[in-house]
Amino acid sequence: MDFLDVSASLTGRRWVAPAPEIARAAEALAQETGLSPALCNVLARRGVPAAEAERFLAPALRDLLPDPRSLRDMETAAARVIQAVKQRQRIAIFADYDVDGGTSAALLLDWLGQMGRQATLYVPDRIDEGYGPNVPAMQALGREHDLIICVDCGTLSHEPVAAAGCDVVILDHHLGGETLPDCVACVNPNRQDEDGALAHLCAAAVVFLMLVEANRQAREDGAKTLPDLMAMLDLVALATVADVAPLIGVNRALVRQGLVVMARRARPGLAALADVARMDTAPTAYHLGYLLGPRINAGGRIGKADLGARLLSTADPHEAAAMADRLNELNAERREIEASVTAAAMAQAEERGLDAPLVWAAGEGWHPGVVGIVASRLKEATNRPSVVIGLDGDEGKGSGRSIAGVDLGASIQRLAADGLLIKGGGHKMAAGLTVARDGLDAAMERLSELLAKQGAGLGGPADLRLDAMLMPGAATVELVHQIEAAGPYGAGASAPRFAFPDVTISFAKKVGESHLKLRFGDGLGASIDAIAFGAFDGPLGPTLSARDGRRYHLAGRLEINSWGGRQQVQLRLEDAAPASIA
């Protein structure tokens, strides 16, 4: 049954209530725990039983952190890194150019520095070298180093790893193939011979587990002073959120603790980046995903590839400030390029049709650094897996983003194995590919077929799933803090959404270029402020700002707005539907 009888909201979505079994579980939770019904709705949706509610709301990392040795090759990898430290060998770190790669590299650089060893950082250029290890780079590093550690890459890089001529350790999370590169160790929860229990980890979390094991081995070997790994969780949290890893299990605990560490502003790079991003409140998962992550990524997308990793690993506040400023400038340039490519890609995709299992677009000279973001825009607009490709010469380099329940990475890997792509790989929600220009149409047609078999293309605009109905008077600061305790929220753990039924809009104003600020109430004295970002890019802004006397159902997420030392509840408005005709 449609929630509040909304089958087509102002944004064209159907509002969906919690399943009956979730509603019953929430009611039982409220009776057994005494927690607020709104919070119990959130806990019930997450499958939390009453006996586990207290522990869930205050997760302890020590209870959730897996044994690093449960991952294949972990002991070997850690032992080889410890050997390199003890024997004062030359170490190189080959890292991917995104946030996960940069944070993974920074974790290793931080740990090695505290162990008295420096390492060479190498991040490939996105345009000139592409993703992952390549033969010339690995050969050059191998000539000058005894050990190369590949982070957030390497699992499919058989030839480059073989060309290194020195020991190689791989710490990765991308989907593995039938065989692994010939290396000392390949630690990857997404190897085909793993059980998948830790498949949700990002690369930085894999690196963190390796450091846990390395500290254990060093301690057993008699080391008295070891790096404080808990102080490094700010980097793990950033990578987990920015790489859209699901916030479940240990990931949730890593992010929660990492946010606490980040709030201390002890890492010069993150402190400087927070300042240029104008973060004036304690960090949240939102800040990691939408303010910090894109700025770090900007270096790898359109600037110097290693800038993000260098920022995260520097101990010099002045150097950090200069690099943060540069990344902020690059991010602004990235947004301009992205806007242009998005408009062209959307127009092309619309001409091709937006109701197919796969939405895709390809254009001459589209910057490889923004195709992934543009693919995300197409996915969000169509609720379908999307691929965007920049063509250059005889080849095209692209990136794809998927929707829940559709494994894009496996399908891309299948195409590569079948020879329809030059190369390709990734994970369930995101993938990269290189394709021959004359094979583009055939590859996309086959990819569409594979995705259709997984159910892609069956739905229209994504349903808006709501957790509960609230009246304005019940939306207190205390309630929002309780709900935040069930977070953090993000991929795999969406923020709870509440509906406010039959309310009157007393104030509405356009702010900035496309945002809407409004105030609404129930007519009984209680009222709440709301903000709808990008509302004037669609129907929400023009309709709600008209204030035509209608009453509306409003839906969105609750948050705390801090201003002038005061806290008040604010609704992050996502959708609305007419409640009655005045």
Q: To the nearest whole percent, how much of the chain has pLDDT over 70?
A: 99
pLDDT at 524: 85
Q: Is the pLDDT of residue 564 over 80?
A: no
> Within 13 Å and on the Cβ side, how many CA atoms surround 556?
24
Burial of 436 (0-12, 13-18, 19+ CB in 10 A): middle
- Residue 283 CB coordination number (10 Å): 22
Lowest mean pLDDT among 125-134, 152-161, 355-364, 473-482: 125-134
Q: Is the pLDDT of residue 444 over 60?
A: yes
- Residue 493 CB coordination number (10 Å): 20
Kindly state the average pLDDT of the residues 427-454.
95
pLDDT at 1: 57
Distance CA 452, CA 572 (A): 34
End-to-end CA distance of the chain: 26
Distance CA 270, CA 324 (A): 9
DSSP state of 575: E
Best CA proximity match to 297, nearest among 315, 281, 273, 279 = 273
| 3-state SS assignment for residue 521 | strand
Distance CA 168, CA 556 (A): 48
551-563 and 566-580 as β-strands: parallel, antiparallel, unpaired?
Answer: antiparallel
| 3-state SS assignment for residue 63 | helix
Best CA proximity match to 67, nearest among 78, 59, 58, 54 = 78
For 38-85, strand residue ranges (E) read: none
Q: Is the pLDDT of residue 43 over 80?
A: yes
Total number of residues shown for the chain: 582
pLDDT at 461: 62
* Cβ pair 362, 326 in contact under 8 A: no
DSSP, residue by residue, 232-258? GHHHHHHHHHHTT----HHHHHHHHHH
515 against 513, higher pLDDT: 515
Token readout for 169 is 């350790």
Tokens 């085909």 sit on residue: 192
Q: To the nearest whole percent, how much of the chain has pLDDT over 90?
A: 82
Q: Is the pLDDT of residue 473 over 60?
A: yes
Distance CA 155, CA 136 (A): 18
Number of H helices, E strands in the chain: 21, 18
Token readout for 519 is 């105030």
Q: Is the pLDDT of residue 416 over 70?
A: yes
Q: Is the pLDDT of residue 134 over 50?
A: yes
Query: Quick check: bond before 488 cis, omega within 30?
Result: yes
Burial of 179 (0-12, 13-18, 19+ CB in 10 A): exposed
160 against 495, higher pLDDT: 160
Kindly state the average pLDDT of the residues 341-370.
93
Kindly state the average pLDDT of the residues 512-525.
92
**pLDDT bucket at 320, cuts 50 / 70 / 90:** very high
* Cβ pair 434, 130 in contact under 8 A: yes
Distance CA 213, CA 66 (A): 11
Lowest mean pLDDT among 388-392, 465-469, 569-573: 465-469
Q: How far is CA 313 from CA 47, 104, 119, 153, 307, in A?
A: 38, 10, 12, 19, 10
Best CA proximity match to 146, nearest among 176, 184, 188, 178 = 184
pLDDT at 130: 84
Name the phi and psi angles at 363, rounded to 5.
-145, 150
CATH of span 353-452:
3.10.310.30
Domain 466-580 has CATH 2.40.50.460: yes
Q: Is the pLDDT of residue 35 over 50?
A: yes
Kindly state the average pLDDT of the residues 414-442.
94
Q: What is the mean pLDDT of the chain?
A: 93
Q: Is the pLDDT of residue 500 over 80?
A: yes
- Residue 264 CB coordination number (10 Å): 10
pLDDT at 580: 65
Query: Does 353-452 match 64-327 at the fold level?
Result: no
pLDDT at 490: 86
Query: Quick check: bond before 472 cis, omega within 30?
Result: no
**At CA 464, angle to CA 460 and CA 467, rounded to 5?**
155
Distance CA 530, CA 269 (A): 33
pLDDT at 459: 64
pLDDT at 90: 98
**pLDDT bucket at 582, cuts 50 / 70 / 90:** very low
- Residue 292 CB coordination number (10 Å): 23
Class of domain 64-327 (CATH, top level)? alpha beta
Can you say whether residue 222 is alpha, beta or left, with left for phi > 0 and alpha for psi between -120 and 50 degrees?
left
> Within 13 Å and on the Cβ side, how many CA atoms surround 135?
4
Q: The whole model's pTM is what?
A: 0.87
Q: Is the pLDDT of residue 452 over 90?
A: yes
pLDDT digits (tens, 9 = 90+) for 191-205: 999 999 999 999 999
Secondary structure in 3-state letters for 109-171: HHHHHHCCCCEEEECCCCCCCCCCCCHHHHHHHHHHCCEEEEECCCCCCHHHHHHCCCEEEEE
User: Domains of the chain: which residue ranges?
Assistant: 64-327, 353-452, 466-580
**pLDDT bucket at 563, cuts 50 / 70 / 90:** confident
What is the torsional sign of CA 144, 145, 146, 150?
A: negative
Kindly state the average pLDDT of the residues 563-580.
89
Best CA proximity match to 388, nearest among 428, 459, 420, 340 = 340
Best CA proximity match to 328, nearest among 295, 303, 357 = 295
**pLDDT bucket at 309, cuts 50 / 70 / 90:** very high
Q: Is the pLDDT of residue 513 over 90?
A: no
Kindly state the average pLDDT of the residues 362-369.
93
